[in-house]
Amino acid sequence: MHVNFSAFWDSLHRIGTSFIGRLPSLAIAVVVFLGFYVLSKLVGRVIRRATKGHRENLGMVFARLTGAAVVMLGVLVGLSVVAPSFQASDLIKVLGIGSVAIGFAFQNILQNFLAGLLLLWAEPFRVGDEIKIDAFEGTVEEIQPRATIIKTYDARRVMIPNADLFTHAVTVNTALDNRRWEYEFPVKDGDDLNRIKRLIVDAVKKVPGVLQDPAPEALVTSLDDPQTASFKVRVLWWTKANRHHEMLTSYDQVLTAIEGALRPRPANLNRKQDQAA
């Protein structure tokens, strides 16, 4: 079989000549792209600096989006330099044809992305806040466009889709400076109920960190057995500590103080205290 190598070499020569002829255009396109890339970095830095101190996460996301848009513009300009016949409308047509398929394929991603932008704009919580959603509770480490990362109290990292945070109820434990704590426990005692409540409130007031305004309270929530004076008391107190570990510390100190106040004492000691009162 006779093979015509001359036609092959002619085609290869034309391709090589065309490539060499476009080298200046390619060099210019590379320079243009690098210029737009540097511009994207500068624009992103300006946006992050302008939003530093307030809405930092939103500024970071918009800096990335703006930078990506500037880079994409640089790609389009570079393509127009290399191929003058290339029009932006051609790319729009191609994107228009595949937009429906892309929309179906990345529906969840786009939903989480839009939810993330709305969360960053509304800012119901910030990085460092302690939040609770469904079975997850922890400290917000990062708010990304697609998901929010929290670190649970037992040192596990959980990625929560932003769409869930946007549509579900979220509890922000650190939203306010002061926070109320409560604990309910049964009490079985034949003494006067008002005396027991007074002992509890006085013990809680002495605990470091417990606010005096609003003052601690001891409220009877149920009377299980009137014959044996068995009832349940709910203790309420406020602190400026609103984080989980601080809450555990406050529980420890308050319950220890209540246990000490309600501990049975010798009869002569109780008689002396009653006479002093």
What predicted TM-score, i.e. pTM, was given to this entire model? 0.61
Which of 23-32, 81-90, 103-112, 161-170 is least confident?
81-90
Residue 117 included in any domain:
no
Which of 29-38, 71-80, 145-154 is least confident?
71-80
Q: In percent, how much of the chain has pLDDT > 90? A: 21
- Nearest-angstrom CA–CA distance, 115 and 118: 5
- Domain span at 199: 179-276
Considering the domain architecture, whether residues 84 and 131 belong to the same structural domain is answered as no
Q: What pLDDT score does 271 carry?
A: 46
Considering the domain architecture, whether residues 154 and 206 belong to the same structural domain is answered as no
Considering the domain architecture, whether residues 13 and 98 belong to the same structural domain is answered as yes
Q: How many domains does the chain fold into?
A: 3
Residue-wise pLDDT for 218-266, tens only, equals: 998 887 666 666 788 899 999 988 888 888 898 899 999 988 888 765 5
* More confident position, 180 or 47: 180
Residue 2 included in any domain:
no
Considering the domain architecture, whether residues 75 and 155 belong to the same structural domain is answered as no
What strands lie across the sheet with 179-188, from one edge to the other?
A: 179-188, 230-239, 217-225
Q: What is the mean pLDDT of the chain?
A: 78
Helix (H) or strand (E) holding 217: strand 217-225
CB of 242 within 8 A of CB of 179?
yes
CA 95 from centre of chain: 33
Q: What pLDDT score does 161 carry?
A: 92
Burial grade of 250 (CB within 10 A; 0-12, 13-18, 19 or more): buried
Considering the domain architecture, whether residues 233 and 152 belong to the same structural domain is answered as no
Residue 202 is part of a domain; what is its CATH number?
Answer: 3.30.70.100
**Helices 107-122 + 56-82 axis angle, to 10:** 130
* More confident position, 174 or 3: 174
Q: What pLDDT score does 91 carry?
A: 58
Residue 110 included in any domain:
no
DSSP per-residue string spanning 32-61: HHHHHHHHHHHHHHHHHHHTTTSSHHHHHH
- Nearest-angstrom CA–CA distance, 108 and 149: 17
Considering the domain architecture, whether residues 154 and 197 belong to the same structural domain is answered as no
Tell me the β-bridge partners of 142.
149
pLDDT tier, 191 (very low <50, low <70, confident <90, very high otherwise): low
CB of 136 within 8 A of CB of 168?
no
Considering the domain architecture, whether residues 198 and 253 belong to the same structural domain is answered as yes
Q: What pLDDT score does 150 carry?
A: 94
Considering the domain architecture, whether residues 259 and 183 belong to the same structural domain is answered as yes
Signed CA dihedral, 189, 275, 266, 183: sign only: positive
Considering the domain architecture, whether residues 202 and 270 belong to the same structural domain is answered as yes
Decide if pLDDT at 97 tops 60.
Answer: no
pLDDT tier, 130 (very low <50, low <70, confident <90, very high otherwise): very high
Considering the domain architecture, whether residues 19 and 94 belong to the same structural domain is answered as yes
Residue 65 is part of a domain; what is its CATH number?
Answer: 1.10.287
Average pLDDT over residues 164-183: 89
